[in-house]
Amino acid sequence: MNRIEQSFKELKNQERKAFIPYIMAGDGGLNNLTERLITLEKFGATLIEVGVPFSDPVADGPIIQQAGIRALQNGTTLRGIIAELAKAREVVSVPIVLMTYLNPIYSYGISKFAQDIANAGVDGCIIPDLPVEEEDLIVGELEDEGIELIRLVTLTSPIDRIKEISNRGKGFLYTVTVKGITGARKEFAQEVVEFLKKVKEVSPIPVVAGFGISSEKQINELTPHCDGVIVGSKIVDLLHKGDINGLESFMSVLKPEKNIR
C-alpha cells in the first residue's frame, strides 16, 4: 500500500474528505517548491498535485496556463522539478502526485522517468492526454517502481468505460466535473452531482472531483457525493498573489472541525 492508498484509508476511518491542492512547479521560481509543499501540508492537504509546465497544456484553463508560462520563462524543466521533489521529500510526508502530459515523459525517457520520480519520492502520476487504450506505453514502468497511475473519467464517459477505468487503479479516480478545461466555475449543474453519484456506485477506489472547483460552497455541495476534491486554479491564483492567509482560510473548509459529514 503506497502513501496514496494509506491516506485515503485513514480519511475513511476518520469519516473525512480529501482536499488535494494543485500547484505549478516553477511558478514563482523552482526554489520555492519545497516551501510551498511544506505550507500546503501544514494547511491540511491530503496529498499534493504538482504540475509540470508544458507548452501545449490542452486540459488547462487560463490561470494554470499562465502559471505554466511563468514557470517555463523561469527555466523550469522536468529534470529540475524531479531534483527539487527529491529534496522536498526529506521534509514533506504527504503523498505527491506529478501531473504532466505524455510528451515531456516521452522526451525524458519513459523508464528513466519512472525510476527518477520513484527515487524522488513521488507516489502517483496524472497524464491527462493518455487514454486508457494507450496506457501500456507507460503503466508497466510506473507500476514496477510503485508509482500509481491516476486515471480520469469525465461527464461524457459511458458507464462501462467508467467501470473499466476505475477497476484498473488503486489510488483514486480523478472525476472531471466540467465539459472543458480547468478554471473556476460559478456553479455546477445538477448533472455533476448525479454523475458523481453514478461514479461512486461503480468505482472500487476513492472518487475525487476536480476541475472548476473554487469556492467553499462548491466543495460543500460536491463532497457529500465523492471522497474529496482537487482544487487547482484557486490555489495557483492565491499563491501567485502571495495571499497565504487566504490560502490557509480556503483550505480549512475540510478540516475536522468543519468536516461534519
pLDDT score recorded for residue 183: 45
> 60 catalytic, yes or no?
yes
pLDDT score recorded for residue 56: 82
End-to-end Cα separation, the chain, in angstroms: 26
pTM of the complete model: 0.93
Phi, psi (deg, nearest 5) at residue 207:
-105, 120
Q: Which domains does the chain have, with CATH numbers?
A: 3-254 (3.20.20.70)
- Taken in order 202, 156, 197, 136, the sign of the CA dihedral is positive
How many other C-beta atoms can be found within 10 angstroms of the C-beta atom of residue 159? 12
Question: Which band of pLDDT confidence, cut at 50, 70 and 90, is reported for residue 184?
Answer: very low
> 187 catalytic, yes or no?
no
Over 60: is that where the pLDDT of 257 sits?
no
The string of pLDDT tens digits covering residues 127-175 is 999 999 999 999 999 999 999 999 999 999 999 999 999 999 889 999 9
- CA separation for the pair 195, 258 (Å, rounded): 25
Stretch 60-68: mean pLDDT: 90
Over 70: is that where the pLDDT of 61 sits?
yes
pLDDT score recorded for residue 8: 97
Judged by average pLDDT, the poorest of 57-71, 202-216, 219-233 is 57-71
Grid cell, residue 136, equals: 501500456
Question: Which band of pLDDT confidence, cut at 50, 70 and 90, is reported for residue 253?
Answer: confident
Residue 223 · residue 203 · CB < 8 Å: no
Grid cell, residue 3, equals: 502513501
pLDDT score recorded for residue 256: 65
Alpha-helical (H) ranges within 167-243 are 190-202, 216-222, 233-241
Question: Which band of pLDDT confidence, cut at 50, 70 and 90, is reported for residue 190?
Answer: confident
Over 80: is that where the pLDDT of 27 sits?
yes
Catalytic-labelled residue, pool 5, 27, 41, 49: 49
The string of pLDDT tens digits covering residues 69-121 is 999 999 999 999 999 999 999 999 999 999 999 999 999 999 999 999 999 99
pLDDT score recorded for residue 260: 39
Catalytic-labelled residue, pool 5, 27, 41, 60: 60
Stretch 199-227: mean pLDDT: 94
Give the residue carrying C-alpha cell 455541495. Answer: 221
Helix (H) or strand (E) holding 208: strand 207-210
Residue 173 · residue 206 · CB < 8 Å: yes
Grid cell, residue 151, equals: 486515471
- Taken in order 213, 214, 220, 221, the sign of the CA dihedral is negative
Stretch 206-230: mean pLDDT: 93
Question: Which band of pLDDT confidence, cut at 50, 70 and 90, is reported for residue 181?
Answer: very low
